[in-house]
Amino acid sequence: MLFILDLDGVIYRGSQVLPHAPEAVAQIRSDGHAVFFLTNNSARSCHSYAQKLTAMGVPAHPNEIMSSSYATALYLEEHGMHGCSVLVVGEEGIPAELSLAGVRFVEPTEDAIADCVVVGIDRRITYRKLRAAQHAILNGAKFIATNADATYPLENGGIEPGGGAIVAAIQTCTGTAPIVIGKPQPYSVLKILELTSTPPRNAVIVGDRLDTDIALGRQLGIRSVLVLTGVTTREQVHAAPEEMSPDLVLPDLRNLVAAVAGRPN
């Protein structure tokens, strides 16, 4: 069995590891199952995410992580855009992963021209960057969003604007809809299944969002588990439409393996 685990709201919130996460991942591995970590957050490189997880007591290798930035790099490679020029509106994780696709980076000037504009979370967003992205897109650049998450969870239980807030601003000022790479679009999970040679029936996706993690599991025929350690409440689960209804709902990761296997706790 392949366990595809979301990060924000499942393994950690901000800089705080969530209760039972290290033990759950250790049990998955000790029972002989495979693990792949999946995140829509584009802020870090896969190497940086692996370091963060390992420091939290969840040992991980960069090859076990699919960030939306890495998925975007794979997308560019697969669509014949190796070596293309890219204007980035985002943080360090995007150029770190896109550099693996041999792209050339364009500075965010007011007359910027590029083959692609790649947008993700950017906590240093400026009007200058928005204007550069607008100019490039209106002059023919492909508009690619690493993800469209409106918010992301914080360790204190709050939320902050996500990459989707910036994507929406650029969509508004260009009148152009982006190609979205991350969840709930299927690309990143399909790549995980391909890389691990796993059929959907032998995978389970674990997340905290109905509209991304669970919707994607339903779409691809992958069993889905929603944990209540992130942004979704039990009341929201009960009110969810069928296409966002998880197969299992757990308070946290404590009994994940047993619940998926149908074993008594």
Whether the ω angle into residue 19 lies within 30 degrees of 0, i.e. cis, is: no
User: What confidence score (pLDDT) does residue 265 get?
Assistant: 54
Do 166 and 248 share a domain, yes or no?
no
Which of 147, 180, 213 lies at the terminal end of a domain, its last residue?
Answer: 180
Do 190 and 240 share a domain, yes or no?
yes
Which of 124, 158, 180 lies at the terminal end of a domain, its last residue?
Answer: 180
Q: How far apart are CA 40 and CA 147, in angstroms?
A: 6
What is the CATH number for 251? 3.40.50.1000
Asked whether 89 and 137 are in contact (CB, 8 A), the reply is no
113 belongs to a structural domain = yes
50 belongs to a structural domain = no
User: What confidence score (pLDDT) does residue 231 get?
Assistant: 87
29 belongs to a structural domain = yes
Helices 127-138 and 163-174, packing angle to 10 deg: 50
Do 90 and 172 share a domain, yes or no?
yes
Which of 151, 180, 209 lies at the terminal end of a domain, its last residue?
Answer: 180
User: What confidence score (pLDDT) does residue 151 get?
Assistant: 84
> How many domains does the chain divide into?
2
149 CB contacts (<8 Å, ≥6 apart)? 40, 41, 162, 163, 164, 182, 209, 212
Backbone angles phi, psi at 165, to 5 degrees: -65, -40
Backbone angles phi, psi at 227, to 5 degrees: -105, 145
Do 86 and 173 share a domain, yes or no?
yes
Do 200 and 254 share a domain, yes or no?
yes
62 belongs to a structural domain = no
| Residues with catalytic roles | 6, 8
Do 150 and 195 share a domain, yes or no?
no
100 belongs to a structural domain = yes
Do 89 and 175 share a domain, yes or no?
yes
The domain of 13 spans 2-40+183-261
- pLDDT tens for the chain, residues 1 to 265: 999 999 999 999 889 999 999 999 999 999 999 999 999 999 999 999 999 999 999 999 999 999 999 999 999 999 999 899 999 999 999 999 999 889 999 999 999 999 999 999 999 999 999 999 999 999 999 999 999 988 877 778 778 899 999 999 999 999 999 999 999 999 999 999 999 999 999 999 999 999 999 999 999 999 999 999 988 999 999 999 999 999 999 999 999 999 999 866 5
User: What confidence score (pLDDT) does residue 110 get?
Assistant: 92
Do 144 and 187 share a domain, yes or no?
no
